[in-house]
């Protein structure tokens, strides 16, 4: 039995999996409101107790966490949690516990996704020996590369979401000036993320919002995108258009930096919710508009990940690999 987790600032998923190759099979998945629990150990206790898991029956453990991982320790970005893998292992008698940054965990799931779990934006012409790239906008912006080394895909996380925002158009330049004035610097996450969509909204609205979006509300990004998709506010439509183009342009930047001839995957919580906007053309036009390398980008498959538990799956895939090495 494998224990895997996707630990986020708002929601945490813990799952028990059977070891199956190449994709572990979920036996039980439990969702938690992260801040309702004092620590990860309390959640683990609840899962093990509910499913009557006996000591020694967990062969491998991996958690993807929304925050930086240094050695065996993780500090969550938006939760006052300090996770020490060795202490967790000692508390429950696990042989070892592995911690991954959440985007790296998600990357481990990419090679085992089924066709029904993705939406194809561009078929492309994938190269079997090519690298893959992953970009995922949610509360923040995550980017990862899957190196193709002798036919084996090796995930490698990055902090590309904190690189500089690359303005391409006069609209982008106006947005860049607004962001620099407010924050002193404009990294791409200030644009391509949930809070980033709010920033774009504030820059795009020249008059009051026809949809009466409250930018201070937790659901402001969803309200903006809904108003745009339903076309109840012209400025919200413009904001979402700018957001989608910036997302596509950054995905294209990542594709070039990683030479992702095997394909580019778009993950995170935002993409499935605005799939209609992503598929309308602006995302892919911005993705490809990088002469003289448009033919290279035109050949790269681009797919949106639809599986909402993909981060949990990736942690389970990693745990399965650890178990196989131990055998």
Specify whether 101 is located in the same domain as 152: no
* Domain region containing 164: 114-306
Mean pLDDT of 36-62: 91
For residues 159 and 220, state if they share a domain: yes
Same domain, 175 and 285: yes
> Same domain, yes or no, for 156 and 266?
yes
From the list 306, 307, 287, 304, the residue with the least C-alpha distance to 296 is 287
CA atoms of 304 and 322, how far apart (whole Å): 28
pLDDT cut 90: percent of the chain above it? 81
pLDDT of 82-96, one tens digit each? 899 999 999 999 999
Answer whether 74's CB lies under 8 Å from 105's CB: no
- 31, 40 Cβ separation under 8 angstroms: no
Task: Give pLDDT, residue 281.
Answer: 94
Mean pLDDT of 180-207: 94
Q: Which residues of 187-226 are buried (b: 16+ CB within 10 A; e: fewer)?
A: bbbbbbbbbbbbbbbebbbeeebebebeeeeeebbbbbbb
The number of folded domains in the chain is 2
The CB density around residue 141, as the number of other CB atoms within 10 Å, is 28
pTM equals: 0.92
- Report the CATH number that the domain containing residue 189 is assigned in CATH: 3.40.367.20
* pLDDT level of residue 110 (50, 70, 90 thresholds): very high
More confident residue, 206 or 287: 287
Q: Are residues 125 and 257 in the same domain?
A: yes
Asked whether residue 60 falls in the same domain as residue 173, the answer is no
Q: How far apart are CA 114 and CA 130, in angstroms?
A: 19
Structure confidence at residue 323 (pLDDT): 56
* Residue 324 reports pLDDT greater than 70: no
Segment 159-169 shows an average pLDDT of 93
Q: What is the pLDDT of residue 165?
A: 96
Q: And the tokens for 151?
A: 């036919």
Query: Looking at residue 33, which CATH number applies to its domain?
Result: 3.30.420.40
């Amino acid at each position: 039995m494998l224990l895997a987790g996707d630990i986020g600032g708002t929601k945490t998923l813990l799952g028990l999996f059977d070891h199956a190759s190449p994709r572990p099979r979920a036996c039980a998945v439990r969702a938690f409101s992260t801040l309702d629990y004092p620590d990860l150990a309390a959640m683990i206790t609840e899962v093990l107790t509910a499913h009557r898991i006996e000591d020694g029956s967990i062969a491998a453990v991996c958690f993807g966490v929304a925050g930086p991982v240094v050695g065996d320790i993780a500090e969550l970005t938006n939760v006052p949690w300090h996770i020490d893998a060795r202490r967790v292992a000692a508390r429950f008698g696990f042989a070892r516990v592995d911690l991954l940054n959440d985007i790296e965990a998600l990357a481990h799931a990419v090679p085992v996704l089924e066709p029904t779990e993705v939406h194809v934006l561009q078929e492309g012409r994938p190269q079997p020996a090519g690298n893959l790239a992953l970009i995922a906008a949610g509360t923040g912006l995550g980017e990862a590369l899957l190196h193709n080394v002798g036919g084996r895909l090796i995930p490698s996380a990055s902090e590309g979401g904190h690189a500089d925002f690359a303005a391409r158009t006069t609209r982008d330049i106006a947005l860049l000036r607004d962001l620099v004035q407010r924050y002193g610097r404009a990294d791409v996450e200030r644009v391509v993320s949930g809070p980033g969509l709010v920033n774009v909204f504030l820059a795009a609205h020249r008059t009051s919002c026809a949809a009466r979006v409250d930018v201070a509300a937790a659901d402001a990004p969803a309200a903006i995108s809904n108003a745009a998709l339903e076309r109840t506010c012209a400025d919200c439509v413009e904001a979402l258009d700018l957001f989608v183009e910036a997302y596509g342009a950054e995905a294209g930047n990542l594709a070039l930096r990683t030479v992702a001839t095997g394909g580019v995957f778009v993950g995170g919580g935002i993409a499935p919710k605005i799939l209609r906007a992503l598929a309308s053309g602006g995302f892919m036009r911005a993705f490809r508009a990088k002469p003289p390398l448009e033919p290279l980008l035109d050949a790269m498959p681009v797919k949106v990940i639809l599986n909402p538990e993909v981060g949990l799956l990736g942690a389970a895939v990693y745990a399965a690999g650890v178990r196989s090495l131990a055998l």
